[in-house]
């Protein structure tokens, strides 16, 4: 046995030999690696995205923006609600960190995020939320009456600076969807009444918590720039300019001149030209809404034919809705089947609704006593002609749809004149000051259609046609207060059956939204959408500019 120091010497010598051999092998391996530098193009920050829209900005205030899509689209980039809803009707927190609901479905507790600041640097607090909701609850609130009526029935209890408790009189599964409303800053609007919102300077110089803020506003355009205090991912595009046009032709002129990068909502008449442009990308998605002709059921003496379900059914059966979609909307819609959306859980796919059948419709009219007795080409009941007016707003697409409807009805001996209301359209609907009216109904989030068809919503709600059916109303009441979805489905199936039998209004089609961008706008995606504003859902991934960077790649043997 060798002495310890001799054994250690031998061991160390072997270690040294192995180490030297390892280094020689490593050196040989490194010499065999080829290092290659490659120049690649990657997204860069900067640039201004220029988008054309038809119409004009009125109120960049989320409490007033609902009835003007341009206002709503721009406001969605400036303001945020406690929650947000996606196209599938699922809610996710936005200004709220989280929320909980009690077992009886009556109490909701919302906890706000602690990292949210207004664009001017002030922190978001529960007082801002309470202030906003109190404006909505006020008797002179000029916005959506459905919001006012809902929030009036809710007890609002502040817990602390970042926590709120909402207590309902009864279970209401749709309630969380009313928390998507944009929140206003109390410190900038404190002291203003709800009625004064319409004339507030804030509407054109808004301050929000969203990813963008107003940089410049003129009568023809609104330019937004990134909000440096926004807590979320920053958009690579630093500025967005919304250019306003009075007509599709005016917009098309600037588009052809290359002055626009996108079109916010493509009018159907522009689709054929855009489809043939190689540098244009078109994105389409169905909207959670339907177009409907309300029939005024509150004027039995002036409009006796609207009181008869078979006449109402015949009016729908006389409309070739697919032809209307193809000819007027360039195919950008889907024939509707009742007052629910096909992708909603409340929709009954087995419930039949009246379809295009002019021969059967003519028989219904004749059996009801409406024939042409004097040979003037218009059906009558001997004393009164079958004629009425169709009210439309200033939407060019709706005006074209109305013209098509009148032509189709005229072929069956029904006289309809189109009445265009550039101003006061919403007011006339709420006052039932029309004979028939073409309207879009939006079903965001939960499919609850209570505000459109329940008999209590005739005065003050959105049951514009004045349909007063007790059985349908009972089904709607149960459907909106029952906590389990299976029970709600039963109620909504009952409602659809009654709706199909009574045909209180003429549901026409589900619109398809189309958005256009030039090829220079990169990485644009259009997910399923709940509104046209959702085209910006992936905005933080878009880019206009690129930069060259050098990447190093090693090729090994």
Lowest mean pLDDT among 83-92, 227-236, 352-361, 442-451: 83-92
Adjacent-strand bridge partners of 111 = 98, 163
Residue 67 has pLDDT above 90, yes or no: no
What's the CATH code, domain 80-202? Answer: 3.90.76.10
Indicate the average pLDDT of the chain: 91
pLDDT given at position 30:
45
CATH architecture of 34-77+210-261+520-557: 3-Layer(aba) Sandwich (3.40)
User: Nearest Cα to 307, choosing from 396, 435, 166?
Assistant: 435
Lowest mean pLDDT among 239-243, 459-463, 548-552: 548-552
Q: Where do you find CATH 3.40.190.10 in the chain?
A: 34-77+210-261+520-557
Mean pLDDT of 174-187: 94
Asked whether 201 and 61 are in contact (CB, 8 A), the reply is: no
Residue 455 has pLDDT above 50, yes or no: yes
| pLDDT band at residue 36 using 50, 70 and 90 as cut-offs | low
Q: Where do you find CATH 3.90.76.10 in the chain?
A: 80-202
Mean pLDDT of 518-535: 89
pLDDT given at position 32:
58
User: Nearest Cα to 80, choosing from 41, 118, 131?
Assistant: 118
Q: Which fold has domain 289-512?
A: Dipeptide-binding Protein; domain 3 (3.10.105)
Mean pLDDT of 423-450: 90
Residue 16 has pLDDT above 80, yes or no: no
Residue 512 has pLDDT above 50, yes or no: yes
DSSP H or E segment with residue 410: helix 396-410
Q: Where do you find CATH 3.10.105.10 in the chain?
A: 289-512
pLDDT given at position 7:
47
State the pairing for strand pair 107-112/212-217.
unpaired
CA-angle at 441, arms to 436 and 443, nearest 5°: 160
Lowest mean pLDDT among 20-24, 339-343, 354-358: 20-24
Note every long-range contact of 422-427, with CB atoms under 8 Å and residues 24 or more positions apart, other chains counting. Answer: 422/393, 422/394, 425/391, 425/392, 425/393, 425/394, 426/67
Q: How far apart are CA 59 and CA 206, in angstroms?
A: 9
pLDDT given at position 394:
81
- What percent of the chain lies above the pLDDT cut of 70? 92
Q: Is 455 helix (H, G, I), strand (E, B) or coil?
A: helix
What one-character DSSP code corresponds to residue 125? -
Adjacent-strand bridge partners of 286 = 512
State the pairing for strand pair 289-295/436-442.
antiparallel
Q: How far apart are CA 122 and CA 94, in angstroms?
A: 18
Q: How far apart are CA 556 and CA 35, in angstroms?
A: 9
pLDDT given at position 89:
65
* DSSP structure string for 159-213: EETTEEEEEESS--TTGGGGGGSPPPPHHHHTT--GGGGGG-GGGGS---SSSEE
pLDDT given at position 318:
98
Most confident of 146-150, 423-427, 451-455: 451-455
Chain centre distance of CA 339: 17
pLDDT given at position 33:
58
Q: How far apart are CA 111 and CA 179, in angstroms?
A: 13
Chain segment 344-371, per-residue pLDDT in tens: 899 999 999 999 999 999 999 999 999 9
Mean pLDDT of 117-124: 98
User: Nearest Cα to 99, choosing from 356, 107, 5?
Assistant: 107
Residue 49 has pLDDT above 80, yes or no: yes
pLDDT given at position 186:
98
pLDDT given at position 40:
76
| pLDDT band at residue 10 using 50, 70 and 90 as cut-offs | very low
| pLDDT band at residue 424 using 50, 70 and 90 as cut-offs | confident
Q: Considering the entire predicted model, what is its pTM?
A: 0.80
Q: What are phi and psi of 268, to 5 degrees?
A: -55, -35
Residue 382 has pLDDT above 60, yes or no: yes
Chain segment 466-503, per-residue pLDDT in tens: 999 999 999 999 999 888 899 999 999 999 999 999 99
pLDDT given at position 71:
95
Residue 66: CB atoms within 10 A of its CB come to 19
pLDDT given at position 6:
41
| CA–CA distances in Å: residue 375 to residues 303, 360, 379, 413, 512 | 21, 21, 9, 10, 41
Asked whether 531 and 511 are in contact (CB, 8 A), the reply is: no
Lowest mean pLDDT among 28-42, 408-422, 465-479: 28-42
- What percent of the chain lies above the pLDDT cut of 90? 77
Residue 234 has pLDDT above 90, yes or no: yes
Lowest mean pLDDT among 248-257, 258-267, 420-429, 451-460: 420-429
């Amino acid at each position: 046995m060798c002495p310890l120091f001799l054994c250690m010497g031998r061991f160390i010598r072997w270690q040294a030999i192995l180490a030297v051999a390892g280094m020689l092998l490593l050196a040989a391996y490194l010499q065999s690696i080829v290092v290659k530098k490659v120049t690649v193009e990657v997204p860069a920050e900067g640039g201004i995205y220029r988008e054309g829209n038809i119409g004009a900005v009125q109120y960049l205030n989320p409490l007033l923006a609902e009835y003007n899509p341009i206002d709503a689209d721009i406001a969605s980039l400036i303001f945020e609600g406690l929650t947000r809803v996606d196209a599938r009707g699922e809610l996710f927190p936005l200004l709220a960190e989280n929320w909980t609901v009690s077992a009886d479905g009556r109490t909701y507790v919302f906890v706000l995020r602690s990292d949210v600041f207004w664009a001017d640097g002030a922190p978001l607090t529960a007082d801002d939320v309470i202030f906003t909701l109190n404006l909505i609850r006020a008797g002179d609130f000029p916005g959506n009456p459905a919001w006012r009526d809902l929030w009036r029935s809710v007890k609002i209890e502040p817990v602390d600076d970042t926590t709120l408790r909402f207590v309902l009189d009864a279970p209401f599964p749709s309630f969380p969807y009313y928390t998507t409303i944009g929140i206003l800053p109390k410190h900038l609007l404190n002291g203003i009444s709800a009625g004064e919102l319409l004339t507030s300077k804030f509407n054109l110089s808004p301050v929000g918590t969203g990813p963008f803020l107003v940089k410049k506003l003129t009568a023809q355009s609104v330019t937004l720039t990134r909000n440096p205090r926004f807590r979320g991912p920053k958009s690579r595009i630093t500025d967005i300019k919304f250019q306003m046009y009075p007509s599709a032709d005016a917009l098309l002129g600037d588009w052809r001149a290359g002055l626009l990068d996108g079109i916010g909502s493509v009018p159907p008449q522009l689709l054929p030209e855009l489809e043939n442009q190689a540098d244009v990308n078109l994105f389409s998605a169905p909207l959670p809404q339907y177009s409907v002709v309300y029939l005024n059921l509150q004027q039995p003496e002036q409009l006796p034919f609207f009181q008869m379900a078979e006449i109402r059914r015949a009016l729908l059966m006389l409309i070739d809705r697919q032809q209307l979609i193809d000819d007027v909307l360039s195919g950008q819609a889907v024939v509707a089947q009742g007052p629910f959306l096909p992708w909603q859980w409340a929709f009954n796919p087995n419930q039949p609704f009246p379809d295009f059948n002019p021969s059967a419709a003519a028989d219904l009219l004749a059996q009801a006593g409406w024939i042409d007795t004097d040979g003037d080409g218009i059906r009558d009941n001997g004393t009164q002609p079958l004629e009425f007016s169709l009210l439309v707003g200033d939407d060019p697409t709706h005006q074209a749809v109305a013209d098509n409807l009148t032509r189709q009805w005229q072929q069956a001996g029904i006289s309809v004149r189109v009445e265009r209301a550039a101003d006061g359209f919403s007011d006339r609907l709420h006052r039932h000051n029309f004979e028939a009216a073409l309207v879009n109904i939006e079903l965001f989030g939960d499919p609850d259609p209570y505000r459109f068809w329940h008999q209590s919503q005739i005065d003050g709600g959105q049951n514009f046609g004045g349909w007063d059916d007790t059985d349908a109303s009972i089904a709607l009441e149960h459907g909106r207060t029952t906590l389990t979805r299976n029970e709600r489905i039963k109620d909504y199936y009952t409602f659809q059956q009654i709706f199909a039998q009574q045909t209180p209004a003429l549901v026409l089609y589900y619109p398809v939204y189309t958005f256009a961008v030039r090829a220079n706008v990169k990485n644009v995606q259009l997910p399923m959408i709940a509104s046209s504003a959702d085209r910006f859902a992936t905005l933080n991934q878009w880019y206009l500019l690129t930069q060259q960077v050098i990447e190093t790649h090693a090729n090994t043997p």
